[in-house]
Structure 1
Amino acid sequence: MTTIRDVAKLANVSTATVSRIINGKGEASPETIKRVNKVIKEVGYRPNSLAKSLSKRDSNLIALIIPTLNNPFFPELVEAIETAASKYGYNLYLCNSEDQRSKVEYFLDSIVDHYACGAIINSLHVNEEDLKRLEERGIPTITIDRTQFSHPYSAVGVNHKDGGYQAVSHLVKNNNCKKIVFLSGPDGEKSSLDRLEGYREALKENKIKDFEKIVYGNFETVSGYEAINELIKNGCIFDAIFSSNDAMAFGAIRACIDAGLKIPEQVKIIGYDNVLLSSYFYPKLTTVSQHKSRIGELTIKELDRLINEPNSKPKKYNLSPDLIVRESSNNRSVKNE
């Protein structure tokens, strides 16, 4: 069966150009339109119903750009968004950018070419011009998590400063920790900077001035292990670790155990994200919940509003995280989960 790709190849144009010509968008020269139509006639190509529905933006296809699938938080976030999307009758087009600008650019073009009716963006490598481009093409956008709030479009975020403050306050006030290491994500990454701000605020409030230690990872488990392992090898003495995510916290726990440090008796550890594994890991990980299900529901609800009310004003939502206390920070194994 002849496909749109076959037509594009024979006419020496992109599939997007063929699609626009088929649907009367007129974004091609008269010569190109004539050549494409000639090929279509010669090969007997007939557009399918899905292609037609895509051209009218009534396919209910929502694009979701995420930064990675290696961090367990993101597959769980995708599941939460997909669950919410299905309730509203939308299908999800998943785009894994692997934290690369080149892939983000590819997917931004793909979103336009596939006539998505809306886009959810979660990436450090998307800027305001990218969002503007999608909006100008009639694709409502909403940013979540890593994408910053300083743009004029809808956004759903989490108050990471408060999350960091809650975690470190718990370590100081409930566990009398005074030498707390902050295990950050990449240097300059926005959510890590927000969590660092909360870390510092809690230290300042509790008059801890003689110890501030920041080490960096890339949000993956191995980087957490390596950062804390290096710290231990260098002779740093600490009694707690606050990690910017759960994946690195798992690595930090392994590094401490390999060094003979007992958790939580000698070192207390708190993660961030409340991924499913955190409640099954040993010891069970104290962590900060971003409420993934709520993010999914709110994101789809807001995008549905933008799709069905094209002239409505964008909204920004900033959710409050919650500390989930488990074994890794509590000698008495008291839990609040």
Structure 2
Amino acid sequence: MVTIKEVAKEAGVSVATVSRVLNNKGGASSETIAHVENIIKKLNYKPNRLAKSLSEGNSNLIAFLVPTLNNPFFPELIKEVERYANKNGFHILLCNSDDDRAKVEYYLEAMMDQYVSGAIINSLHVGPSDLAVLEERGIRTITIDRTNFEHSYSAITVDHSLGAQLAVTHLLRDEQCNNLVFISGPKNEKSAIDRLTGFTLALNEAEHPVKTTICYGDFGIESGYENAKALIQKGQTFDSIFCANDAMAIGAMRACHEFGIQIPGEVKIVGYDNVSLSSYTYPPLSSVDQCKHDIGKLAVSELIDLINNKNQKPKQYQLEPSLVIRNSSGGNRHV
């Protein structure tokens, strides 16, 4: 890679002169400017954007730490965040932690080494002390959902308890289900705990007796498939399944198809996330929409405000999800 020093040497001028030409700051004759521009083109020199940003005291790089790329919700959220960031002149440094604290520590260091201006954090393994270190280094932060909401920095969360209530109430009240399986996320995962809370609240409000079974998955397709398959193989009967995310719901649908169980005729299924794929499953999957478009836009706009105004106080937001009802649970409507 050609350096600015090599351009200066080839052009027979100082590095400062090349820098002035690159930044249109004058200070040289028109002949010198034309000569330097020809050398830049000849050597195919590309300025270091990061160095330029740092010299101007403004990096246009935002880090986005996500817990996994296996759950289809996160690639879709990344796309939303990147779209809004790019519209505002920022670029994304993607950090996939795989829910591994060692990888989280590596990426936290990388954020500081890469001189990012801000960081959007979505991870179980980032705590208030980590956020404090980033903020002390001048990296403004906003957390999303999985990160502990109980800190003093900017944060966005979704009311997952409400989302689960909407899904379960739909199955119990609208579809008159009375034998419900809940395939939850991991026991120690905050959003999974919130969804379990909503599941319980909906049961407490049920107008008829409901038999329930709770299984625990890892938010992956395979865990939804294996949980549903195990129940079917044991001979357990049920008329509905609510899954804590769409990936596990898609796995549960696969298990039902393999054993000839009709959806929604014999078993009604609702997922959570409303990923794009949920519209294309067979049958199309009912799902709780947790506002990824709003999350992406709000996270970026809030973070940019924090970056541009060092004295701005952090804000914390809670978004309300909605239920999109499709054929997997009996219909097509939005609640």
Q: Could you say which TM-score interval applies, normalised by the shorter chain?
A: 0.7 to 0.9
1:227-266: CA deviations, max 9, x gaps? 1111112222211111010011000001111122110011
Please show how residues 1-337 of structure 1 align to structure 2 within 5 Å. Answer: 1=1, 48-54=48-54, 57-207=57-207, 211-330=211-330, 333-336=331-334
| Consecutive unaligned residues in structure 2, runs of 5 or more | 4-46
Give, in whole Å, the separation in 2 of the partners of 1:83 and 1:54.
23
Give the equivalent residue in structure 2 for 1:24: none
CA shift in 2, pair 1:80/1:189, >3 Å: same
Aligned residue type for 2:137: R
| Secondary structure of the structure 2 residue equivalent to 1:212 | strand
| Secondary structure of the structure 2 residue equivalent to 1:92 | strand
Give, in whole Å, the separation in 1 of the partners of 2:236 and 2:142.
43
How much has 1:145 moved relative to structure 2? 2.1
CA shift in 2, pair 1:223/1:55, >3 Å: farther
Q: CA RMSD in A?
A: 1.8
| Secondary structure of the structure 2 residue equivalent to 1:272 | strand
Give the equivalent residue in structure 1 for 2:12: none
Give, in whole Å, the separation in 1 of the partners of 2:209 and 2:193.
19
8 A Cα contact 2:117 2:140, kept in partner: yes
Give, in whole Å, the separation in 1 of the partners of 2:160 and 2:329.
19
Give, in whole Å, the separation in 2 of the partners of 1:93 and 1:49.
14
Give, in whole Å, the separation in 1 of the partners of 2:64 and 2:159.
22
| Secondary structure of the structure 2 residue equivalent to 1:182 | strand
| Secondary structure of the structure 2 residue equivalent to 1:323 | strand
8 A Cα contact 2:178 2:209, kept in partner: no
CA shift in 2, pair 1:57/1:93, >3 Å: farther
8 A Cα contact 1:327 1:335, kept in partner: no
1:200-238: CA deviations, max 9, x gaps? 111111155552311111111111100111111222221
8 A Cα contact 1:54 1:116, kept in partner: no
Give, in whole Å, the separation in 2 of the partners of 1:212 and 1:319.
28
CA shift in 2, pair 1:55/1:172, >3 Å: farther
Give, in whole Å, the separation in 1 of the partners of 2:68 and 2:123.
9
Give, in whole Å, the separation in 1 of the partners of 2:214 and 2:92.
38
CA shift in 2, pair 1:54/1:323, >3 Å: same
8 A Cα contact 2:67 2:99, kept in partner: yes
CA shift in 2, pair 1:232/1:110, >3 Å: same
Give, in whole Å, the separation in 2 of the partners of 1:190 and 1:265.
33
How much has 1:146 moved relative to structure 2? 1.1
8 A Cα contact 2:192 2:244, kept in partner: yes
8 A Cα contact 1:57 1:115, kept in partner: no
Aligned residue type for 1:297: K
8 A Cα contact 2:66 2:95, kept in partner: yes
CA shift in 2, pair 1:334/1:64, >3 Å: closer
Q: TM-score, normalised by structure 1?
A: 0.83
CA shift in 2, pair 1:275/1:156, >3 Å: same
Aligned residue type for 1:89: G
1:136-157: CA deviations, max 9, x gaps? 1111100002112111110011
Q: Aligned residues, how many? A: 293
In our comparison, the structure showing a higher alpha carbon Rg is 2
Give, in whole Å, the separation in 2 of the partners of 1:147 and 1:292.
16
CA shift in 2, pair 1:266/1:232, >3 Å: same
CA shift in 2, pair 1:55/1:252, >3 Å: farther
How much has 1:306 moved relative to structure 2? 0.8
How much has 1:50 moved relative to structure 2? 2.5
Aligned residue type for 2:333: K
| Secondary structure of the structure 1 residue equivalent to 2:317 | strand
Give, in whole Å, the separation in 2 of the partners of 1:49 and 1:195.
44
CA shift in 2, pair 1:56/1:110, >3 Å: farther
8 A Cα contact 2:279 2:285, kept in partner: yes
How much has 1:51 moved relative to structure 2? 2.4
